[in-house]
Copies of this chain bind each other. A is one copy, B any other.
Amino acid sequence: MAPRSKRAPRSGSNKVRIEEVARRAGVSPITVSRALNTPEKVNETTRVAVLKAVEETGYIPNRLAGSLASNRSKTVGVIVPTVTNSIFADKIRGLGDVLSGAGYQILLGQSGYSLDAEADLVAALLAQSPSGLVLTGSTHAHRTHVMLERSGVPVVETWTSAEFPIDMQVGFSNEAAAFAVVEHLVAAGYRDLALVVAPVQDNDRALGRLEGFRKAIAHFGLRQPAPEREAAFSLRNGAEALVNILETHPDTDAIFFANDILAAGALLECRRRNIAVPGRLGVAGFDDLEIAAEIVPSLTTVAVPRYEIGSRAAQMLLARLDNAETGRRVQLDFTIMERESTRRER
């Protein structure tokens, strides 16, 4: 009796394997592999025959097997706090556009602004042997650093300009941007400022903006301590923060919201309460979302390269995987967008 495989055959797996394509094309499996992955290394006649067989059979290569064998996976892990925030959505679009052009897939993780959740995601993503990892921010749990170090996987941290990135970095200086906003408010004639920023706990982007704000307040000799509020990103929270600040600090003449959604919510509340912007109150935002240009009055804000952060991060990763020379820190520019909400008649 012929020795039978110990392993039962897969239940009617109708999937085409490389061997079948090879048989059909009259070549060996490895030639099919080469025709698909490194076509320039295969004779044209052979290649055409293989592609024909692929077409006829509807063969879709099993990347799991290919990645395991080659130790290269064509996936990139991306961790964002949440896709619901459009600044991260734009980054993902930038990543996706560049990566899918190069045949890579995105493995997406949402950390919910929790470093612990981020660490779990890093472990889960590393388990898939990604070609690279794109993280948000430069603040991570200790075990995240350990795992990343150990894995040797290329890492890009985004949105920050921390001095010592784990590996690569694409971002801008949140601190400098916030400083510039205050500088603009001062130039527009505002003196009694307030700040509304995302919760800074474990959020270096928010923390950078807070610090830039504080430094500018000190630098320009403005009212101290300036009222500061933390609020998660929503229109409602912006409206509520505005009301709260005006109640506790009625002499406030301008508020810097470290996010356009918060600022827009405040502008809508100003309309409901007939608070004159920019006359009674100046309002500035952050991000330059579309609403900043469209809302009435239009919103002064900081334009940041959301999409580009994603596309550049992807490019750096691809360059690294290609063993090309890459810088480690890409510092992008921001631009103050002066609009009606701080255009005070003096």
Contacts and interface: CB of A to CB of B under 8 A. Distances in A.
Contact of A62 (B78, B127, B150, B239): B127
Interface stretch (A86-94, A176-184, A190-198, A216-224): A86-94
Contacts of A83: 83, 89, 92-93, 96
Contact of A64 (B10, B67, B92, B146): B67
A14 B150 contact: yes
Q: How large is the interface on A (under 10, 10 to 19, 20 to 34, 35 or more residues)?
A: 35 or more
B73 A294 contact: no
Oligomer copy total: 2
Contact of A89 (B10, B84, B235, B236): B84
Interface stretch (A42-50, A118-126, A245-253): A118-126
Interface string A93-115: 10010001001011111100000
15 contacts: A60-B123, A60-B147, A61-B127, A63-B127, A63-B129, A82-B93, A83-B83, A83-B89, A83-B93, A83-B96, A96-B108, A100-B109, A100-B121, A107-B107, A271-B296
Q: Which 9 A-B pairs have the closest CB atoms?
A: A235-B294, A63-B127, A83-B89, A108-B108, A64-B68, A106-B108, A84-B89, A96-B110, A271-B296
